Amino acid sequence: MLFLDDVFLARIMLFSSRYMILWSSAINEKYREHLERQRRRYSRPRDVWSKVERHAFGRDVGLNGYTSPSEAKDLVEFVGVPGPVLDLGSGGGWPGKEILIKSEQRLVVAMDIVLDGLQESQRGMADTGDEERFRCVVGDGQSLPFAAESFGLVLHADALC
Amino acid sequence: MGASHTVLKGGGILAGYSIHVRPTLSSRESINARELGPSFVGGLEDPGYLAKTAGFVDTRVMDVTPHFRETCIAWIEAMEFFEEELRAELDQSDYRDELRNKKDMLCGIDKGLLMRSLIVCKKEG
């Protein structure tokens, strides 16, 4: 899922072939299991999980990890320097949606290695009115497919573990 | 972290939450922590040191483990409350796996093996 409608994102193509080679050589069994678990999460029926989430946190935000609504609120307060925002290991779009809403005029790039999550994330952004500032990229966090010094802010929620 | 440092502009910030093992665990405790925690928790024992190694400055590591513990409990209670519906909707092993994952996390926290931190660091420039 790669959008090439501006110069910044066109630079990604320069790195995409290198990224694919690195990605395939870095996969190991534990990583495969982790990816499979993530994919299963995005194929679950939303109705019952929405109930679980509302019971646990009082809200239905597509939360599938450990970042609570109050923690998401703290995270999106970081500003960095002017430039696009990278949501690293964006999953299904939480807390990515909060990031997009709070980032005010900045391009937000969601990156994850699981395509299913990015697709769910994109669907979730449709009601923000800001989806034209939102991009999705399939990528591996260990070998980011972006040019150096592309982002003013990188945010993540349980993506490093 | 190194990859994030590369793609950030000078002065840019890397900020996020991460689960990691407590520093200074014994070998046995580290193994136990890795079994109870997420897939790659072992690689993030000292986030401050890793951030510095990656080239970041002004690193702050804020312990949010008490809140993390509450989040785990909230998930477990909600999943048990809706157990019947979840078992009806999900693959049985998926439900068990997910619940066990949350309970293992809570166990790791209560044993003093796992913690969660908000890690904020800056790229010089």
Domains of chain A: residue spans and CATH: 7-156 (3.40.50)
Q: Provide ipTM, 2 decimals.
A: 0.91
The closest of B95, B73, B44, B40 to A45, measured between CA atoms, is B95
Q: How many inter-chain contacts (A to B, CB under 8 Å) are there?
A: 150
CATH number of B2-123: 3.40.50.150
CB contact under 8 A, B12 and A151: yes
What pLDDT does residue A28 have? 64
Most B CBs within 10 A among A66, A70, A102, A114, hence the mutation to make, goes to A66
* Gap between the Cα atoms of A115 and B111, Å rounded: 36
Whole-angstrom CA distances from B104 to A9, B13, B35, B92, B96 are: 40, 32, 8, 18, 12
| Residue A14 in this model has a pLDDT that exceeds 70 | no
Average pLDDT, chain B: 91
**Is A77 in CB contact (< 8 Å) with chain B?**
no
Q: Helix %, strand %, coil % for chain B, to 5?
A: 55, 25, 20
The pTM score is 0.85
Under the phi-then-psi rule, with left for phi > 0, alpha for psi from -120 to 50, and beta for the rest, what region is B56? Answer: beta
Most confident range (mean pLDDT) of A8-12, A47-51, B19-23, B61-65 is B61-65
Tell me the per-residue pLDDT of B102-111, one tens digit each, with 9 for 90 and over.
999 999 999 9
Q: Where are the domains of chain B?
A: 2-123
Tell me the per-residue pLDDT of B23-50, one tens digit each, with 9 for 90 and over.
888 888 888 888 888 766 666 678 888 9
Kindly list the residues from chain A whose CB atom is less than 8 angstroms away from the CB atom of residue B77. Answer: 55-56
